[in-house]
A and B are shown apart, each in its own frame.
Chain A
């Protein structure tokens, strides 16, 4: 819309559209000014807030355009008229809020050029200003023609045409249309326009008529707005014409503006307005708008007022105070209050109609404010609510009556809000609950502590049931009164609507007494009916009135059969007349009678009963009834007898049994013990009662005992068997096999324990002896085998010695003899080791053992173990690997397995000892507990013997478990094997089949075969000069031998025959001695003690022990104490020298 290029500069200087804004809203003025300031062709030159100042301003400033609010204080129309009276007149753009046709039409008549909806079209204001005022102003100012004018005109959007006084076209702008310009110039305006309008002849005629009026001076300008169809579309055009003032040629400038968009909006607004108007006009309610400023008065009142009040809308328009006058004088304060509260809520008040009658109306008003917050109008709706109000009043009257009923009702009524807050109590409720209404109104029921916790839930339940059921359910509750006393009430909850509010009506009735009585009666009759004992109620003359079902069960007679009869129908004839006389005599005197009697049932059988007859006296003191209670004691008699007999038997058993019996509480305290237990432990039975079983249990067995005991307490099991030692009063152990069982209560808790303790001390002693015998026997058996070899060796030694002595005497060579002797001695050493190994006192010396060689070496020994009837075969794979184990132990394992195999074979058979390498898979490990995957050497001992049952197999590795005849097995063989194999990181497995044989497989971890250490004989280390050994040994021969070897090895040697002597030597030569080589077992000061004292004196001293016999104590000492080395006797020269060298080369024992 902005003019372009060269024109702009002129615009700045000469063509600015000068605008005055006349509107009472400062906000709007600012808004409009901001809008216009964006446009450089427009300058706002003044503002006015009311009509007089607007008129003054326009007359003074003579603006090109006036923006005018018609509804401004003082009246916009007067400003419009004043403006249009000016010469030249400014263009007037009317700012409207409502777009009412009346305003618009009137303003248009007065010469308004443009209309703009304030609320919706403010953004278009610049355009409107330019449209309205731009051309006129410029034309007026620029004078006739000229390039500037043409440029200006060409910049306009609207088509502009300048007409001479003959309505011929003098000039057009480009918007008129380039194509048509040549034809139109000089042509008649009417014809050109008809051509442009495409058959808008009627419209053109109107324009021509208007032009004529302007030309004739009847009006300065005209504006016509009409619609046409152009290219199938409805187009709104506004055609304005204006006489160019002061133009001698009396030319007229005509503008064709396309206002389709503006008109469409205005049209939409008009339609919307009409819709609203129709709605308001047709509403039952009165719709109105009341202006507050600048003058008060109705702006609109809908036609419904006529019907409702008798006053027409016109009456209202005429009288601004009619609204106030309508209100009932008594209710006028409500209007003021509502206005004061400025609330939007409805106001209900009375109106006085034109005919003087009253109606109730409900009004909703909205105060309309301007941008300063000043109320400018009130819009509202008034509705006739007379009918409703009348109903309400009637309700209130009946409520009065209901209230009286409520208050005086005999039952307690309580009104509650749905949340449980107390609204009302009637008198009965006040009495029942003990709370006066004024004390509790508004409080929550639960705060009052009327209902105990458990009842609250039930009450809620009842309340929720109210929601779902139309009829209230009743329930009984135990309540607590204000004074703390309890009562039982029957309550019912109803949901009622009071004053439009949902309310709970609780109706309660005190049923305490009634329930108590009922309960008692019920209890009594139920009790009587359900009683185990037969009950008979009889009249004083003996006639039966009532019997319970137990009576029927007892006698076989039903109530109907005995009612009215005398109890004598039960008579058995067992008792004589005197018996009955006594009975009747007692009860006749009013005394109760108790006795046992034999009666006869309906079926003729006899039974024994115990009967108590109690006379009951009436209020007059006379006997009114007899009540007889009968108990069948037939079964009881029999049972009692049985119990007595059983008890006697049990007691006898308890007292005289050969096993100890203990009753103990769950805490472990003895409750009762039998004499046998006392005897076992050396106490009187009473002396044991009250003690804890822990006190009389051997400390070493306590842990195991407690574990079992706990497992029963926790319910893991119900009983346990245990071999344990009790402590006898004299302190020695008493072995017992104990079976303990728990007796539990219904909850599963242990009530008490019963233990049966069998004294097995004797048996254990025998077992111990047997074990010793077996051990000795086993040692003996092996010793026998060893003796065989030993005697051979001794023969060799003696023989060769004799030969050598003789040869030596003759000056001959003795070497061969001595070599034989040495070999024999070596073999003897091995034999000794084997014996020691068997007695299980040994040093474990793992070494790498090639299994093939090992088995071949051992074969001879195995042959010796088995009789001729059994063949021993060796099946060893050629490539079988190497294991790391103690050779003696491994031999022992093999021996044990072969012995077992031998013992399993009766008659002839075969034992096969095999070996091969195997790989244990993860799968195998998973299914064989204790096994681990890896490479193993498997040694198998397979026999063709009797095999083992599954039971035997399961226990095979348990110590002392044996299947061999008494005296034949120790039960330690496999256990030992197991221990040794486990210790070597291996795994042992038994595969057995009864009648077929057994294969025991021993898996030992395979290790890399290492070359045997180089033969030490070749590199015997020699002691450097100055190294001195203190040799302590009580055996002269050994000491001499060791000294010779050490001296030959280059060591200096001090000798001592015992520990004390050794310490004396140290005393004398504290610095020069480097190594203490001492026997462990010596008379007097032992080796370890000697070493300890020597080290105190010489901390740098190295220590080497030697011993031919290693006991546990020594081993322990070696491990716990000093890290000294150990040399086993017998030793060779090389072994001694190596050990000494090693000891000297190690770090000092201390420091």
Chain B
């Protein structure tokens, strides 16, 4: 179980992703923009941050940069459906400023799980072995 902070300006999106993460067994925090996410993270660390790139105000790229300085050990998964630039460009940009991983929108439950799995430390060694065992 991990604590996942979802940062997105789209309320509908936040709701659904929140439901998806719950289904995956995670604890979910929500923030509607970069500043909200940063202030939240100042008080308590999250295990992983799912960060939208194109947001009004402090956008995902800036938020990631500052977040990396604030909580260098908290992995950021950048997510985008594109905007002024395509999602690939946006996500590459996010990667350069410190995002651990990227997840292009739209994504499925499985893709979300895999993206988080790539950045979260395995819950335990056995779990990881089990996991490895479970994947032929």
Contacts and interface: CB of A to CB of B under 8 A. Distances in A.
Interface string A770-808: 000000000001001101111111111111101100100
Given A791-B82, A791-B87, A863-B56, A802 B15 contact: no
Interface stretch (A420-428, A598-606, A820-828): A820-828
Contacts of B107: 795, 798-799
B83 interface: yes
Interface in A570-586: none
Nearest to A860: B56
Interface stretch (B17-25, B39-47, B91-99, B116-124): B17-25
B12 A824 contact: yes
B1 interface: no
A1053 B99 CA distance: 55
Interface residues of B, number: 28
Interface in B11-55: 12-13, 15-17, 19-20, 23, 54
A791 B105 contact: yes
A820 B10 contact: no
Interface string B56-93: 10010000000000000000000011111111000000
A785 B56 CA distance: 12
B12 A793 contact: yes
A784 B87 CA distance: 9
Nearest to B56: A863
B109 interface: yes
Contacts of B54: 788, 864
B87 to A, nearest CB: 7
A868 interface: yes
Given A784-B83, A791-B106, A798-B108, A827 B56 contact: no
A796 B13 contact: yes
B59 A820 contact: no
Given A788-B54, A791-B87, A806-B23, A798 B82 contact: no
A791 B81 contact: yes
A791 B59 CA distance: 17
A823 B12 CA distance: 8
A971 B59 CA distance: 31
A799 B82 contact: no
Contacts of A827: 12
A791 B52 CA distance: 12
Interface in A807-861: 816-817, 820, 823-824, 827, 860
Contacts of B87: 787, 791
B61 to A, nearest CB: 10
A789 B81 contact: yes
B109 A802 contact: yes
A271 to B, nearest CB: 135
Contact of A784 (B8, B82, B109): B82
B85 A784 contact: yes
Nearest to A816: B19
B15 A794 contact: no
Contacts of A790: 81
Contact of A795 (B59, B83, B105): B105
Contacts of A785: 83-84
Nearest to B104: A791
Interface string A859-873: 010011000100000
A799 B81 contact: no
A799 B12 contact: no
B83 A799 contact: no
B13 to A, nearest CB: 4
Given A784-B86, A788-B80, A795-B105, A803 B13 contact: no
A803 B19 contact: yes
A794 B12 contact: no
A101 B136 CA distance: 184
Contacts of B13: 792, 795-796
A871 to B, nearest CB: 11
Given A788-B82, A820-B15, A864-B56, A794 B109 contact: no
B81 to A, nearest CB: 2
A788 B80 CA distance: 7
A820 B16 CA distance: 8
A823 to B, nearest CB: 6
A799 B50 CA distance: 16
A798 B104 CA distance: 14
Contacts of A787: 81-83, 87
A794 B105 contact: yes
Nearest to B52: A792
B86 A800 contact: no
A868 B58 CA distance: 9
Nearest to A781: B84
A456 B56 CA distance: 100
Given A788-B54, A803-B19, A820 B105 contact: no
Contacts of B23: 803, 806
A794 B111 CA distance: 14
Contacts of A781: 84
B19 A799 contact: yes
B84 A796 contact: no
Contacts of A802: 20, 108-109
A999 B45 CA distance: 47
A798 to B, nearest CB: 6
Given A787-B82, A793-B12, A868 B17 contact: no
A954 B30 CA distance: 51
Given A788-B54, A806-B23, A864-B54, A796 B83 contact: no
Contacts of B83: 784-785, 787-788, 864
B66 to A, nearest CB: 14
A792 B6 CA distance: 13
Contacts of A798: 106-108
A793 B8 CA distance: 13
Nearest to A807: B23
B116 to A, nearest CB: 14
Contact of A800 (B10, B16, B82, B112): B16
A935 B26 CA distance: 57
A817 B16 CA distance: 8
Given A784-B85, A787-B81, A795 B106 contact: yes
For A784, A785, A800, which residue has the most chain B Cβ atoms within 10 angstroms? A784
Contacts of A791: 80-82, 87, 104-106
A962 to B, nearest CB: 21
A788 B81 contact: yes
B110 to A, nearest CB: 8
A595 to B, nearest CB: 90
Contacts of B81: 787-792, 794-795
B58 to A, nearest CB: 9
Contacts of A820: 12, 15-16
Contacts of A817: 19
A824 B10 CA distance: 11
A792 B108 CA distance: 12
B108 A799 contact: yes
B95 to A, nearest CB: 18
B82 A868 contact: no
Nearest to B9: A860
Contacts of A794: 81, 105-106
Contacts of A816: 19
Nearest to B108: A798
A864 B23 CA distance: 32
Given A787-B82, A792-B12, A795-B81, 7 more contacts: A784-B85, A788-B82, A789-B10, A791-B81, A795-B107, A823-B12, A868-B59
List the 3 closest pairs (A to B, CB-CB), nearest first. A791-B81, A791-B105, A794-B106
13 contacts: A784-B82, A789-B81, A790-B81, A791-B104, A791-B105, A795-B17, A796-B12, A799-B112, A802-B108, A803-B19, A864-B54, A864-B84, A868-B59
